Chain A
Amino acid sequence: DTAVSQTPKYLVTQMGNDKSIKCEQNLGHDTMYWYKQDSKKFLKIMFSYNNKELIINETVPNRFSPKSPDKAHLNLHINSLELGDSAVYFCASSDSGTSGAYTFGSGTRLTVV
């Protein structure tokens, strides 16, 4: 009964590969997000989707492409992976009627070698 679940938890891949991270929430929230946390622990918003519509695209390279098939899912596809993409990626969800009350997933640690 995990609220926000993302898979896989760990992902090790070579440069140049394409990979996807999946996220699902069962909270009935209408908004979902992808965040990136780097080695210095800064947590930065990448994308936000409200009712399957893209709201935020924060200067993320176009190698990153989010896809929201429905309100409960927000997947992240990354093309041509680079060393600098290594980080922990968090999915989150919220109710757009509230401010700042996010529920985060447990993260996907991506390592590009």
Chain B
Amino acid sequence: LAKTTQPISMDSYEGQEVNITCSHNNIATNDYITWYQQFPSQGPRFIIQGYKTKVTNEVASLFIPADRKSSTLSLPRVSLSDTAVYYCLVGDDRGSTLGRLYFGRGTQLTVWP
């Protein structure tokens, strides 16, 4: 399992762009990088997934450098409702390794008015 390291917490203000970086030095060739968001009293929600370069969807962007040893989740113009825990997962859990992805402690993002 590729372990990940991300900041325990981050603070931001409404309207700012937030970048959360995740380190995954031992990422394997077949591994994907996936980010989840979890609000209090809810289950984690899939945000974005990438393999290399940049991926963008309606919620966030994911930047992955060429060496893939880190990744950055970018949330444009955050609002109070973006306050949540963000998890970075790295791995390939297809086939016999279904479910073998390490969630870690995540990053608690707090957005202030």
Contact = CB atoms under 8 A, between A and B. Distances in A.
Contacts of B32: 99-100
Q: Is the interface of A mostly helix, strand, loop or mixed?
A: strand
A106 B87 CA distance: 17
Interface string B68-85: 000000000000000001
Contact of B106 (A41, A56, A94, A105): A41
B94 A96 contact: yes
Contacts of A100: 32, 34, 49, 89, 91-93, 101
Interface stretch (A11-19, A42-50, A63-71, A76-84): A42-50
Q: Is the interface of B mostly helix, strand, loop or mixed?
A: loop
A103 B99 contact: no
Contacts of A33: 99
Nearest to A107: B43
Contacts of B100: 45, 56
A97 B94 contact: yes
B13 interface: no
Given A99-B32, A99-B91, A101-B49, A43 B44 contact: yes
Contacts of A106: 41-43
A92 interface: yes
Interface of A: 4, 31, 33, 40-45, 47-48, 50, 55-56, 90, 92, 94, 96-107
Nearest to B35: A100
Nearest to A50: B98
A99 B41 contact: no
Nearest to B99: A48
Contacts of A45: 99-101
A103 B46 CA distance: 7
B87 A43 contact: yes
Given A33-B99, A42-B105, A106-B41, 17 more contacts: A42-B103, A45-B99, A45-B100, A45-B101, A48-B99, A50-B98, A55-B96, A55-B98, A55-B99, A90-B44, A94-B98, A99-B32, A99-B91, A100-B34, A104-B44, A106-B42, A106-B43
